[in-house]
A = this chain, B = another copy of it.
């Protein structure tokens, strides 16, 4: 009965039907995740490569637009190193760990809050998202104590006050959080961004905790690229950590994954941030990419 209309519009219509099919396939995921909070640790290549930056921002803006609630926590490693070089600050070491003295925390704060954070807010804004930047100092989001006196202003989170974030999220704003904390002594402390993301996900009762990394995911055998793990339980993760088969930089992420899942977060993900639209791919397809940690 639906007689086809004449030629001129045909190819356009064919194209449209392809598009419509894609939109239709996204529907069940939007239905499932609408109104749910996703804490996304943003860093690595996804933050360094211009193309990946643009696709990341588009992904986040789309998620927010269709009703999901992304919250971004970013790191700042390379920028800070560069800024410290420019400022001529010499790193000092104790037991193989870098000491964050007053001068260093100053550079860290300036770079995180003054450079990286506004850039991400602007990037998201240019894709149509209503974003707002904050540090863990705003509204006393993160309260911290010194992790080790010898390390200086490196903080261990002792309290999370997520009210300000919750209000923003409820208003459709995408919060972009720099991993600083207000010390119990009134000073600024630097946080491990992976840990901060995990703690925030817990405090928010997030649906998912997502790490954008520069690896494909977890390997059962670090040397064997075919041993990529797609799904792992908290118990499995503990064993993997115990086995020593995990790179050092991955440890805070895995600790946070374990802690977050135990605190009731549904899923934690280690994604390959080097893949364009990794976020959409993970959230909008059933198989997903990278490694998923489950209860």
Instruction: Give the B-binding residues of A (Cβ under 8 A).
Output: 1-6, 9, 12-13, 16-20, 22-28, 30-31, 34, 45-46, 48-49, 51-52, 55, 58-59, 61-62, 65-67, 86-87, 106, 109-115, 117-118, 121-122, 125-128, 130-135, 137-140, 164, 167, 171, 173, 180, 182, 186, 188, 216, 225, 272-277, 280-281, 284-285, 287, 289
Contact = CB atoms under 8 A, between A and B. Distances in A.
Nearest to A51: B2
Contacts of A186: 122, 126
Contacts of A30: 65-66
Contact of A19 (B22, B51, B289): B22
Contacts of A140: 125, 130
A64 B284 CA distance: 18
B135 A139 contact: no
A24 B122 contact: no
Contact of A16 (B28, B86, B273, B281): B281
Q: Which 3 A-B pairs have the closest CB atoms?
A: A114-B114, A110-B114, A20-B277
A12 B112 CA distance: 35
Contacts of A20: 55, 58-59, 276-277, 280-281
A52 B117 contact: no
A188 B118 contact: yes
- Looking at A28, A49, A127, A130, which has the most chain B CB atoms within 10 Å of its CB? A130
Given A31-B65, A113-B118, A186-B126, A3 B86 contact: no
- Looking at A273, A287, A289, which has the most chain B CB atoms within 10 Å of its CB? A289
Contacts of A28: 128
Nearest to A83: B110
